[in-house]
Structure 1
């Protein structure tokens, strides 16, 4: 019944629905309920349409922003459908569509929370930024589909080899991040060294050949122990610079940044020493 209904009505129904959406939401830009308390819903009766048929059409043509209302008295399946759509939209908002990892939005939100937790509890947090080495060559040589395969498998490896309470995120094209909650610099470096060894064991088939190729990645790590006030971008910048050092030193390795707390304390100590010197010597 669903297939029959879709075959008979898909073309005309979609033409009408999509034209309405384009007219109101794209041309006139009025489909933003958060901007106004006033408004109304535009409805269209679809005799013979089943919820199952609608789910197929909505998934195929991006119509999940349309709300379905039953003509009979049983609202439960429709409420369940709305709940499912909302869950899917929420997931897509927070996850990278290719790898399924958390996206940069979630990464920054979580890192900000972990920095605040570290500041309150004085428990360390470490940030690792990882970048696949020579990834552009894979895309150029074997195509973007092979590049996507590498990204997916690499992301899966990171997720499988991280702790349940760490956050693994894709924050750029071939750039990933891991937030190690409660872990200091030495331990996070050890975890990453083991991780890089597992990356070296990944193998991928060369398109159109029986040959295989492997990949490597570089990583930079920074750490915060909650002793001073910092901004999130400072911890990210430290990890970025350590990653750059790893790349410049030959790739396929982990480099660590100076712990940001100790660096700040050292600078403060030097300032106090200079002040004391001036008070007693005048120089």
Structure 2
């Protein structure tokens, strides 16, 4: 009984080759697990040559080989290519008497192979991948015990390959789970519209910075930003337009602030920025860059006339003198003061710090 029961032999061969590719065994380095099986088989069968081989599209490739100095041969001269066409053991007592192999260059010339016995290496879904085989330079037979050992060791080859397959799947699954975990962590800490830190994540980062400052790290600055008259945009142009404005404002924030600065969406049209190792004056200059970008950058594409926005900003120092809640409260008061003064300005905590008109 042969394996070629599919009426479309080319389609069957394509599926067989895919099954072989799924094991990712071709062209892999030598491995002691396979080498040990080949050594044991050679001893049991008293054969000078023993091979774990796989039949690729145009070649016979050896995963492990004893007694030959090559790692592959052309498929068209492979005895194993015939062995994969039938179930069970494939034994050729004398190759010179078998019309399939009598003119084979491996028989008529070096290394003058006269005996072959191979056991099928079969995939989990029944496709023949290659053989575990022994060869000799003289005609001979295998005893019943040797035949049993050949089949048993072939089963061990496939068992090891299945373990490798399962391990690879497990590694891939763990990688996918880790990617999913990271994605969930990202979703839990970022604002879905802007990709900035959400309020909870920003509070955690701010709390860490306050703790570092209390332990001797340089002071930082904290900034609360409110987009002026944002409600009017939503009410007159719709929430989609409002989202576009928020996204454009986020882009301007990334341009105005340093990579080390931490930007978060505080809620709605409010944003928080924490500037590590920065004074209030340095934070004011960063706020001024943002005001200037807002003055020259339309907040939506293809608007006629162009839509511009302004922002009110409060800035306070993080110097370790208070806790996170107190810092947030001071910044909120400074933002409220900026709105009272007419919006489109920055109000800072320390007296004498300039505010843009």
TM-score (norm 2): 0.49
CA contact (8 A) 2:221 2:283 kept: yes
Q: Which residue of 2 aligns with 1:269?
A: none
Structure 1's 79 and 210: CA in aligned 2 closer, same or farther, altered over 3 A?
same
Tell me the alpha carbon deviations over residues 71-116 of structure 1, each in whole angstroms, 9 at most, x when there is no partner.
9973333222212211110110110011000111111111111112
Q: For 1:199-214, what aligned pairs fall within 5 Å after superposition?
A: 199-205=294-300, 210-214=304-308
Larger deviation, residues 138-147 vs 80-89 = 80-89
Q: Flag the structure with larger Rg.
A: 2
Shift of 1:225: 2.3
CA contact (8 A) 2:248 2:300 kept: no
Shift of 1:258: 4.0
Structure 1's 92 and 122: CA in aligned 2 closer, same or farther, altered over 3 A?
closer
Structure 1's 188 and 204: CA in aligned 2 closer, same or farther, altered over 3 A?
closer
Distance (Å, rounded) in 2 between the aligned partners of 1:230 and 1:236: 10
Of residues 237, 240, 251 in structure 2, which corresponds to 1:156? Answer: 251
Q: For 1:1-283, what aligned pairs fall within 5 Å after superposition?
A: 74-121=169-216, 123-205=218-300, 210-226=304-320, 229-258=321-350
Shift of 1:239: 0.7
Structure 1: 5+ residue runs without aligned partners? 1-69, 260-283
Tell me the alpha carbon deviations over residues 146-202 of structure 1, each in whole angstroms, 9 at most, x when there is no partner.
000000111121123321221000011000010011111111111111111112222
Structure 1's 76 and 167: CA in aligned 2 closer, same or farther, altered over 3 A?
same
Q: Equivalent residue of 1:212, what SS?
A: coil
Q: Equivalent residue of 2:344, what SS?
A: coil
When you count helix as a share of all residues, which structure comes out higher?
1
Tell me the alpha carbon deviations over residues 40-65 of structure 1, each in whole angstroms, 9 at most, x when there is no partner.
xxxxxxxxxxxxxxxxxxxxxxxxxx
Structure 1's 119 and 72: CA in aligned 2 closer, same or farther, altered over 3 A?
closer
Distance (Å, rounded) in 1 between the aligned partners of 2:226 and 2:211: 26
Root-mean-square deviation (CA), in Å? 2.2
Q: Equivalent residue of 1:241, what SS?
A: helix
Shift of 1:145: 0.1
Shift of 1:251: 0.6
When you count strand as a share of all residues, which structure comes out higher?
2
TM-score (norm 1): 0.62
Equivalenced residues, count: 187
Distance (Å, rounded) in 2 between the aligned partners of 1:196 and 1:108: 25
CA contact (8 A) 2:244 2:300 kept: no
